[in-house]
Chains A and B, each alone.
Chain A
């Protein structure tokens, strides 16, 4: 994905985008600006029984994600001798949509599971855990459009919370076309009445796109513009993900405290002195 080339092209095409003034004044169904995300709330480490977990609220979406592993692969014949297998399970609760949906995994669930896996795989050091599996379970409690993006966002946070080594976080965001205008982070209503929808997952620090799907019709220029908008959106999501992960530890972390005071209690140093110890006394 040559992002640089894309930005250059859009820059030269500026005059064609003179409609922008119109786009700015135009309001969306829920009153957001064209490049405004829904309110996002992420919490990490919500499930004590999972190795890592996250809960995300993205607009009216409510999604819970749990990560297990790296652990022994079952069934064993699916294990790969050279790397771990990342397994994702996306599932929508029967009450997540109106009317009620069947809890059985649908074709759509399977697709999103696969899409999530391929969006997250490039960020995980799978080769460090041969024969193991890393399982990501995503449960959509309430759906309001853009659940695959929200699921990826939650899964990335849960993976970090599980302590799985990663190259970067993965942030996801969709761009769509409604009434011939490009808008970021579509809600359910916009998704349904819109002409086009393009979800994107992006690794912000590495600058790499890991997922790009598109539904509907867009011209080449529009698609390129949409990609830029989506990447901007992903960067905003990324900041929220960072905050969520830091919040769990950041509360009593005195960042501005002088370093010397922190040094004596450092866990790292202690590990050398007392590498392993078994203690019994009564």
Chain B
């Protein structure tokens, strides 16, 4: 019945986090009466469970996520889309075109191989393959902008409390930012300079995601960049 680490300490796979009966949270597993970590991250003790906030993970698709993907293949009536998860996602014609289905439809007019798109996961099929849709506001093919890669587990940090971080970045740079939950972020702004600024600050956030007072430091960093470009 004891915690082996302090809250928010860095732990590695195999570290015994807790001895005794407790619920196991994210990124942990139990072997008899010991709770181990399965990923590198920060340990989080709460009264009824132990979990680890992972610092590096892949993306696990969840229904409702807005993601950014790339069309890698087309089959009869469906697109195959790489979303950086363990399996490719699929999108059928009814999920891409809001019109009655026609067999002679030219799919490449909507999306072609190599196109990048913003989509929403509407379902996971029984093999856990994500089913995507681009019907909805803000979804669809991407025409311009930067795609930044980000660790999916750190995306809550990029958004910040009630969007504090992301709103700050948008306010400071005037760029349009779309966050894909799969760790791909679209940045499109008035000019290339501003877009590059966002890319730089995101890299900084990614590196320092586990530290405190980051929003203020990121804001300072952005202002310095703006100062320099002037």
A residues within 8 Å of B by Cβ?
Answer: 51-52, 69-72, 84, 123, 125, 129-132, 160-169, 203-206, 242, 245-246, 249-250, 252-255, 259, 261-262, 264-271, 273-274, 276-282
Give 9 nearest A-B pairs by CB, closest first.
A168-B14, A271-B156, A205-B14, A165-B38, A163-B57, A163-B56, A166-B13, A70-B86, A267-B157
**B54 / chain A contacts, CB cutoff of 8 Å:** 163
- CB distance A246 to B10 under 8 Å? yes
**Could you list 30 A-B pairs, sorted by A, with CB under 8 Å?**
A69-B58, A72-B87, A72-B88, A125-B38, A131-B86, A160-B39, A163-B39, A163-B55, A163-B58, A164-B39, A166-B13, A167-B36, A203-B14, A246-B10, A246-B12, A249-B40, A261-B212, A262-B8, A265-B211, A266-B53, A267-B157, A267-B209, A270-B161, A274-B156, A274-B163, A277-B159, A277-B166, A278-B138, A279-B166, A282-B174
**B153 / chain A contacts, CB cutoff of 8 Å:** 163
> B141 on the interface (CB 8 Å rule)?
no
**A69 / chain B contacts, CB cutoff of 8 Å:** 58, 86
- CB distance A167 to B13 under 8 Å? yes
Q: Which residue of chain A lies nearest to B38 when distances are taken between CB atoms in the complex?
A: A165
Q: Tell me the bound Cα distance from A268 to B54 in angstroms.
A: 10
Q: Tell me the bound Cα distance from A266 to B185 in angstroms.
A: 21
B residues within 8 Å of A by Cβ?
Answer: 6-10, 12-16, 27, 29, 36, 38-40, 44, 51, 53-58, 64-66, 86-88, 118, 127-128, 138, 151, 153-154, 156-157, 159-163, 166-167, 170, 174, 176-179, 181, 190, 208-215
Besides A169-B12, A205-B15, A261-B212, 19 new A-B residue pairs in contact (Cβ under 8 A), listed by A number:
A69-B58, A160-B40, A163-B55, A163-B153, A167-B29, A169-B14, A249-B40, A252-B211, A253-B211, A267-B156, A268-B53, A274-B159, A274-B162, A274-B163, A276-B64, A276-B179, A278-B118, A280-B178, A282-B176
B89 CB to closest chain A CB (Å) equals: 11
Q: Which residue of chain A lies nearest to B213 when distances are taken between CB atoms in the complex?
A: A265
- CB distance B178 to A278 under 8 Å? yes
Main secondary structure of the interface of B (DSSP, over half): loop
**A278 / chain B contacts, CB cutoff of 8 Å:** 66, 118, 138, 178-179
A91 CB to closest chain B CB (Å) equals: 24
- CB distance A245 to B40 under 8 Å? yes
Q: A205-B16, A281-B170 are in contact. Are A270 and B10 (CB under 8 A)?
A: no
Of B86, B159, B174, which is within 8 A of A129 by CB? B86
- CB distance B179 to A277 under 8 Å? yes
**B118 / chain A contacts, CB cutoff of 8 Å:** 278
Of A167, A204, A280, which is within 8 A of B138 by CB? A280
- CB distance A255 to B9 under 8 Å? yes
B56 CB to closest chain A CB (Å) equals: 4
Q: Which residue of chain B lies nearest to A168 when distances are taken between CB atoms in the complex?
A: B14
- CB distance A267 to B176 under 8 Å? no
**B179 / chain A contacts, CB cutoff of 8 Å:** 276-279
Q: Which residue of chain B lies nearest to A165 when distances are taken between CB atoms in the complex?
A: B38
B48 CB to closest chain A CB (Å) equals: 15
B88 CB to closest chain A CB (Å) equals: 6
From A163, A205, A266, A269, residue with most partner B Cβ within 10 Å: A163
- CB distance B212 to A262 under 8 Å? yes
A98 CB to closest chain B CB (Å) equals: 37
Of A132, A253, A268, which is within 8 A of B87 by CB? A132
Q: Tell me the bound Cα distance from A51 to B36 in angstroms.
A: 23
A33 CB to closest chain B CB (Å) equals: 28
From A161, A203, A252, A266, residue with most partner B Cβ within 10 Å: A266
Q: Tell me the bound Cα distance from A277 to B174 in angstroms.
A: 17
Q: A71-B86, A277-B166 are in contact. Are A161 and B53 (CB under 8 A)?
A: no
From A261, A271, A277, residue with most partner B Cβ within 10 Å: A277
- CB distance A276 to B181 under 8 Å? yes
**A165 / chain B contacts, CB cutoff of 8 Å:** 13, 27, 38-39
**B14 / chain A contacts, CB cutoff of 8 Å:** 166-169, 203-206
Q: Which residue of chain A lies nearest to B177 when distances are taken between CB atoms in the complex?
A: A279
**B177 / chain A contacts, CB cutoff of 8 Å:** 279-280
